[in-house]
Amino acid sequence: MDYPHEPVLLHEVTRALSIVPEGIYVDCTVGSGGHSEAIARELGADGKLLCLDRDPDAVDIAGKRLAFLGQRLIIAQGSFADLRDFLLERGIERVHGVLLDLGMSSYQLEKSGRGFSFSRKEPLDMRMDPDLPQTASDLVNNASRQELAAILRKFGEEKRAGLIAKKIVQAREESLIRTSLELAELVRSVFPVSRGKRMRHPATKTFQALRIAVNNELEQLVSFLEQLPALLRQGGRIVIISYHSLEDRIVKRQMEKWEHPCTCPPDFPRCVCGNKPVFERITKRPIRPDTMEIARNPRARSAVMRVAERLSQ
């Protein structure tokens, strides 16, 4: 069967997780279940796979795909920011490996009808979890010009944030901005007409910023990283794939901190703070897709994977 999302760095992910057949693994962003299926194939009769996604459609699609696991599968809708409770409620204290494949899925972009794509005319929603209180349209039509500019700057690193915010506020005085295409055209009008071939749509950063704000993505990631050390057993691996520098910076800094937690001044002859390393990074440099994978699956081009292993507790 054809699934709507091609998993990125598939072999690298299963290798990095260093799967033991009787282990317990958590795919915190199951999406269409591509990574999960590959993990499942390496599990034995006593292994377990737990899957989470904020998007109920993902739980539905992946649940069917992974049904062959029977009792060895637990799948639920929820955020990885609540991973500790998700595991505790199921009587699980520590697991052998956790995967986070951040961002959005091809299903969300192309089939969800929720306005994630700037090239489709869809309601400007952008919620991964339809129960979240605020849509992108609410934000675009109600936030002040200053708030909008701050969101675009902070979550999109958009240089024209001020101009785009001004344009949005002017436009909504005429009529509310309700679709993804309306917003995309508005943003495009702020940019000079490009000569030659433009690499990215001018609304790319605006759409990223709004999606991050609507789904509170960075706070969710920080909260997950705070919980993680207590949930992995010794030798357990965390594998995280990020798709933009804001996410990757958070992951990179946290992994460095786990590996070098000492807070003593650099001129101290030896450590007196007593903070011991909690994780060891498996590769100091991030792992990226090769040119063949990018040619096959252009969405993989911005992927950056980092892996760390839990040390003794």
Ligand X SMILES: C[S@@+](CC[C@H](N)C(=O)[O-])C[C@H]1O[C@@H](n2cnc3c(N)ncnc32)[C@H](O)[C@@H]1O
Binding site for ligand X (CB under 6 A): 5, 7, 28-29, 31-35, 52-55, 58, 79-81, 101, 103-105, 128, 220
Which own/partner pairs from 188-194 qualify as long-range (CB within 8 Å, at least 24 positions apart)? 190/160, 190/163, 190/164, 191/160
Q: Residue 139 CB, nearest distance to ligand X (Å)?
A: 17
Which tokens is 96 given? 């052998």
Q: Which is nearer to ligand X, 103 or 289 (CB)?
A: 103
Burial status of residue 28 (CB atoms within 10 A of its CB: 0-12, 13-18, 19 or more) = buried
At its nearest, how many Å lie between ligand X and the CB of residue 200? 19
Smallest gap from residue 299 Cβ to ligand X (A) = 9
Indicate the residue whose CB is closest to ligand X.
Answer: 31
Nearer to ligand X, 249 or 260 (CB): 249
- E strands within the chain? 24-27, 48-53, 73-77, 95-101, 232-242, 279-281, 304-310
Residue 36 Cβ vs ligand X, minimum distance, rounded to whole Å = 7
Q: Which lies closer to ligand X via its Cβ, residue 137 or residue 220?
A: 220
- Read off the amino acid at residue 90: R
- Whose tokens are 């505790």? That residue is 88
72 vs 299, beta carbon nearer ligand X: 299
Nearer to ligand X, 54 or 306 (CB): 54
Strand 95-101's sheet: what is its strand order?
A: 73-77, 48-53, 24-27, 95-101, 232-242, 304-310, 279-281
Q: Which amino acid is at 278?
A: V
- Taking the complex as a whole, the smallest distance from the CB of residue 10 to ligand X amounts, in Å, to 8
Q: Give the count of beta carbons closer than 10 Å to the beta carbon of residue 282.
A: 17
